[in-house]
Amino acid sequence: LAKTTQPISMDSYEGQEVNITCSHNNIATNDYITWYQQFPSQGPRFIIQGYKTKVTNEVASLFIPADRKSSTLSLPRVSLSDTAVYYCLVGDRRSSGSARQLTFGSGTQLTVLP
Amino acid sequence: ETGVTQTPRHLVMGMTNKKSLKCEQHLGHNAMYWYKQSAKKPLELMFVYNFKEQTENNSVPSRFSPECPNSSHLFLHLHTLQPEDSALYLCASSQVQEREYVFGPGTRLTVL
């Protein structure tokens, strides 16, 4: 599994754009980059996934440079309710015919301030 | 109900009790998972079920016993737990090929 490195914590203010960068120098050719969000005492929630260039959905954008050694999750105009832990996941263990096994790291604690 | 549901949401048990956690998914997924999240620690994958068959047991102590009677239901049977087993237990489901897991709300377990 490719190791990921992301900041332990970040602070932002309401209405700002937040960018969380994840480093994954050992990403494999077949690996996708997946981001999850987790609120306290809740299960993580899938946000976005990408392989290269840019992916955008109604919640966030994901920017992946050509070398794919890093990725940036962009949250536009954050609100207080975006305060959560954000996880970057790269690669997964999977034996033939079986389910993918996602491994979560420590994530980035984003705190949005009023 | 939609999504992934877990019951109970909170559970307090003594070390000699036997209890079970239940997970149900209404998404038509064919893979289900148990994760453990202790305070200030990353999520730890415990068990993986693929089309009702257990495909992974990540060195979980035998006091945790999973059961998957069908693709929609997953249980975690608990017996003679230790206080350090107190944690948030999360169930998730997905299609076997996909990385998009849907997690349940979790069961907050306290072992006295």
* Cβ–Cβ below 8 Å for A107 and B42: yes
Judged against a pLDDT cut of 80, whether residue B20 lies above it is answered with yes
Residue B58 confidence (pLDDT) above 80: no
> Does the beta carbon of B104 lie under 8 angstroms from any beta carbon of chain A?
yes
Tokens of B56: 């992974």
- Residues A34-64: tens digit of each pLDDT: 999 999 889 999 999 999 999 999 999 999 9
**Tell me, what's the pLDDT at B106?**
96
DSSP codes, A48-110: EEESSEEEE-SS-EEEE-TT-SEEEEEESS--GGG-EEEEEEE--B--TTS--B------EEE
Residue B1 is predicted with a pLDDT of 55
A70-100: pLDDT as tens digits = 999 999 999 999 999 999 998 776 655 567 7
Q: How many angstroms away from the CA of A100 is the closest CA of chain B?
A: 7
Check residues A114 and B53 and name the one with the higher pLDDT: A114
